Structures are given as C-alpha cells and as structure tokens.
Amino acid sequence: MNKIEHLGIAVQNLEASNLLFEKLLGSAHYKIEEVASEGVRTSFFKTGPNKIELLEATSEDSAIAKFIAKKGEGVHHVAFAVTDIVAEMARLKKEGFTLINEAPKLGADNKLVAFVHPKSANGILIELCQEASSESSI
Ligand code: ZN
C-alpha cells in the first residue's frame, strides 16, 4: 500500500457537513459526486496533502444509511492508495483478510475500489483504491 488516500466520514446531511468541514479545514470542498451504484453522495476536501471524503446516503438500503443507523455519524473507512489493486486484493486474501468485493469496481473520484471487511481488520473498513486511468492488470 502506498499511502492513506483519504478518510471516509459518514454524515447525515452533506450540505450541513460541507459547511462544517469548510469551517473546520478553512477551505471548501472541491467536488461533489454521486455514486448511484453505492447509494451515496460524496464530497471531497483537500487539506495539505490529505483528502477527506464525506458520504451521505441517498437511499435507506445504502451502506452509509445502515452504518449511521448502527453507529451514528463518524469515520466510516480508511482508504489506501495502491498501484495494482488486483495484486493487492490477492495478497490480502492470502494473508487471511476477508474481502467484501470479489473484483474491483468503479468508485468515486475516478478510482477502482475494493473493500476489506472490518471484521477482519480490527473493526476498520479498509478501502483499496487505484487511479482508474492508470495502467493495471485488469
Ligand atoms: Zn472512500
């Protein structure tokens, strides 16, 4: 894994949280993107070299809606940038981690993503992400 790519934070109301994080970070979000397949609307902030992703559910069966119902708002996942997501998924599977996705899928921010189940990673949902435009073994 190369670095932490972003932190994902589950929020109840994206507009309200955009204002809150704008005050907190001293800079506005730079994009909003809906990922219909995941039932989420996301916004992205940059702070120095780091990125924060806010996630709001767009449907009741979205993973974000379920997360908030169970745990409330808060840190939802830690995303790591990887160069070769398929190779990294195979490596983690071999190491005994439970992968939520069998294959990478297109996520927000033009990334190929896959998730590691929190039950196999000390309660933290791990996202692997690879730039969708870069060369890969897919
Ligand atoms: Zn994410």
Chain segment 22-54, per-residue pLDDT in tens: 999 999 999 999 988 889 999 999 999 999 999
**Tokens 């070299």 — which residue?**
49
State the pTM of this model. 0.90
Nearest by Cα to 38 from 53, 20, 51, 18: 53
Distance 95 CA to ligand 1 centre (A): 23
Distance 94 CA to ligand 1 centre (A): 23
Average pLDDT value for the chain: 93
Distances (CA, A) of 1 to 56, 59, 81, 83, 88: 27, 32, 6, 8, 8
**Which residues line ion ligand 1, judged by CB < 5 Å?**
8, 53, 79, 127
Distance 96 CA to ligand 1 centre (A): 22
pLDDT in tens, 100-131: 999 999 888 889 999 999 999 999 999 999 99
SS3 31: strand
